[in-house]
A and B are shown apart, each in its own frame.
Chain A
Amino acid sequence: MSMSSGQLWLLVIVLSVTAYALKVLGFVIVGSRTPPPLVERCLALIPASLLAALVAKDTFTSAQDFVVDARAAGLVVALIAVWRRAPFIVVVVAAMAATALVRRFA
């Protein structure tokens, strides 16, 4: 992996400070106020956009290339498990097992 341990520590620290600052900003500083509806609607969509983007990135890209490999099999299994409302750990383990099996035998 290309990131050094020092850079990883920098990431851990900056992300921790930012995450806590966002929590404090809403909970302690701004307090019980409702943001304008437009802002609220847009903020509510961040997880949908980013989580789906991360699924696509982690399944179909490798560095800067588009690839379809064993991870795609893992995703198919994960989506079936999510669709069947399987618990989190079942989704993850099933996807890992499918990926490992395809890597081993395909």
Chain B
Amino acid sequence: MSDAPSPAADSTDSNAADAERKRVITASLTLGGAVGITALSFGLAAVSAGANVWQACALSFFTFTGASQFSAMSVVGAGGSVGAAFGGAALLAVRNFVYGLALAGRLTNDERGRKLPLLHRLVAAQFVIDETTAMSTAQPQLRLARTAFWVTALSLFVTWNLGTLIGALAGSFLDTQALGFDAAFPAAFAAMLPPHLRTRRGRLAAVTGAIVVVALTPFMPIGIPILVAVVGVLFGVRP
């Protein structure tokens, strides 16, 4: 920054900042729309697994982390226990803890570095998920990071819950078996996988997880092989 920016340069700067801000908001809203479609399939899948409309909606509202919700319903659909359904879903939710660490410095303080009120931080925490982390950490500027986080959070929260409701309502009127809704689960998990397969370790962990499940399913209660499959993380031990 020069000492005395000319008015023209100043307005160009603020125009550029406005354009950048608009770009971030548009990207965040677009992501919200795309996630709404995913929510439709969650609603359908949850109902086909045996949940009712309210239970599907409560999961999307309160749990609000897609992979865990799909995982829990997948084990329920297979006839697993509450503990087994919970275990796999909770393990998948651990990544939101890691995201929280990455986001904390950028989003828990105000512009002058003072801690935001506790209530603000507790509300923001509910929205610490894959998409908000990706959108927010992609912004080098603190203000834009905050805009990206909140616009993504709110648009996602609306579309995720609305999509779940519509999907669950539709699912409760349809013959879910004949229409192949059970196939929505593996397809959804396969669609979530690619970002985790970029490293060699990730691919080894994935192959291990799949082999463990197929090998152990006949010998363990339903859903438990999913928990054992987490041994794939041991590929992270060696640097």
Contacts and interface: CB of A to CB of B under 8 A. Distances in A.
Interface string A58-88: 1111111110001100110011011000011
Given A1-B50, A8-B50, A22-B94, A47 B196 contact: yes
B187 A74 contact: yes
A55 B212 CA distance: 12
Interface string B1-37: 0000000000000000000000000000000001001
Interface stretch (B140-148, B154-162, B213-221): B213-221
Interface string A29-67: 011111101101111111111111111111111111110
B138 to A, nearest CB: 18
Contacts, number: 345
B108 interface: yes
Interface centre among A15, A42, A66, A78, by most chain B C-beta atoms within 10 angstroms, is: A15
Interface centre among B65, B203, B217, by most chain A C-beta atoms within 10 angstroms, is: B217
B152 to A, nearest CB: 15
B226 A53 contact: yes
Q: Report the interface size class on chain A.
A: 35 or more
A48 B200 CA distance: 11
B74 A70 contact: no
B104 A96 contact: no
Interface residues of B, number: 108
A104 B180 CA distance: 10
Contacts of B217: 57, 61, 64-66
A17 B21 CA distance: 34
A48 B196 contact: yes
Given A31-B101, A48-B205, A54 B180 contact: no
11 contacts: A18-B93, A19-B65, A22-B90, A27-B107, A28-B100, A32-B108, A44-B202, A49-B206, A50-B230, A51-B196, A55-B193
Given A5-B55, A64-B220, A70-B180, 12 more contacts: A3-B81, A16-B63, A33-B101, A45-B232, A46-B233, A47-B67, A52-B205, A58-B182, A59-B186, A92-B187, A95-B184, A96-B179
